[in-house]
């Protein structure tokens, strides 16, 4: 909020709730366009009949918290030796012994530090929505140009 208020040259606190809502809305729009998790979020996913590799839905992968093999009602933790994550392509690889098993994964998606171009696009979007309340809810081409290099297209 402080950064947005500085950018808008606002010193009062009357619009803090509005500005926070606009930040959340702009962040969600950025996430929807890029296909990335900008804020940290904990994700739990279940994979049936695991293959040797798998792309997790929410990216980038910040950390793998817990990994379990699930058999009927029994869970065995394998966090320390499930395989590995290739962060360059955001793909998780399982050791051969876990292929065709049911797996549960808890992980954190998001950035350690949001890329400057995405952060600037969010700031620009908030400013547009604040200054032109009812007219500027769509992403402008200038904002899209900032997000485009980060966009992940899922096929």
* Peptide bond preceding 102 in cis form (omega within 30 of 0): no
pLDDT tens-digit map of 94-127: 999 999 999 999 999 999 999 999 999 999 999 9
Q: Which helix (H) or strand (E) holds 118?
A: helix 116-131
What pLDDT is attached to residue 122? 95
**Distance between CA atoms of residues 114 and 112, nearest Å:** 7
pLDDT digits (tens, 9 = 90+) for 21-71: 999 999 999 999 999 999 999 999 999 999 999 988 888 999 999 999 999
User: Which two tokens mark 21?
Assistant: 């809502």
Instruction: Give pLDDT, residue 155.
Output: 63
Threshold 0.85, pTM exceeds? no
For residue 33, the surrounding DSSP H or E stretch is helix 16-34
């Amino acid at each position: 909020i402080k950064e947005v208020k500085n950018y808008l040259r606002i010193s009062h606190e009357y619009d803090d709730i509005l500005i926070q809502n606009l930040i959340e809305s702009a962040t969600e729009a950025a996430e929807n366009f890029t296909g990335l998790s900008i804020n940290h979020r904990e994700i739990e996913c279940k994979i049936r009949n695991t293959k040797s590799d798998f792309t997790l839905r929410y990216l980038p992968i910040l950390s793998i918290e817990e990994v379990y093999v699930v058999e009927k009602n029994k869970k065995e933790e394998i966090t320390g030796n499930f395989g590995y994550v290739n962060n360059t392509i955001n793909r998780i690889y399982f050791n051969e012994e876990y292929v065709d098993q049911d797996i549960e994964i808890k992980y954190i998606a998001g950035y350690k530090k949001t890329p400057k171009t995405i952060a600037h696009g969010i700031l620009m979007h908030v400013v547009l929505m604040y200054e032109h309340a009812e007219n500027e809810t769509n992403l402008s081409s200038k904002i899209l140009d900032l997000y485009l290099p980060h966009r992940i297209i899922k096929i």
